[in-house]
Amino acid sequence: MKKIDTLKEIIFKKKERILLAKQQLSEEELKIRVLSLPPTRHFIEAINKPHVISLIAEIKKQSPSRGIIRQEFAPLDIAKIYQDAGVQAISVLTEEDFFAGNISYINEIKNQVELPILRKDFILEPYQVYESRFYGADAILLIAELLSKDKLAQLLQLADNLSLDYLVEVHTDKELKKVLSLKIPLIGINNRDLHTLEVDPKTTEKLFILMPKDKIVVVESGIKTSQDVLFLKILGVKAVLIGEAFMEASDIKRKVEEVMGW
């Protein structure tokens, strides 16, 4: 039986979504609209604290590996709970077909919560960078595997021009090599293989030792307990991005405090 390549399916649908979005709001129109927006919040500054490990808490309803994670899903309420719990930043999953996300959640949250917001999606082209800024994101996720070195450099330059921070995600040493050839302060290590959806925490151990000391490292996927967080803190990781452990909890605030040891 042929294995499903989840990433391939996601990208196929994402390209369709981008075409639809462009029909409703053109890139030219977006370029004009972003000129009059208020300044972004400092995402990197918020999560890069000395002697502590920061938390980027994620908002997502479902995932391809888990299906629906949270039935009672109210993004703004969740964001307020995260802020109340003392998280440093919020990640909002905006991919529609596999994660049941929506980019409109960002603006809704931004209007009532003071934390910086990361747009987590499968960003492939400049249109989505303008779109992220327009809908209120302070930072964007860029996945190294999806982008050639030239395309990545182009999107990083555009993000800089729009005052957006960026988290560039890697899963293999080959991807890390590509990323390290560019001036990128914030690098994410994703323990999940996006093709098979399998999680291997050893990915972090393998890649972290190859990381220059001046990089701010965020670890994503498979972080569930305070022991996991403590191990990463001792390793020298600056921040963790956690979603599922909180989304499946009946008491989100208590779960954040438990996992982070606050």
Residues noted as catalytic: 58, 60, 120, 169, 190, 220-221
Name residues whose C-beta falls within 8 Å of residue 255's C-beta, 6 or more positions apart in sequence.
245, 246, 249
Radius of gyration of the chain (CA): 17
List the end-to-end C-alpha distance of the chain, in Å, as a whole number: 46
Strands 67-68 and 89-93: unpaired
CB atoms within 10 A of CB 24: 7
Strand (E) or helix (H) holding 249: none
Give the C-alpha separation, 152 to 125, whole Å: 9
Coil, strand, or helix at residue 160?
A: helix
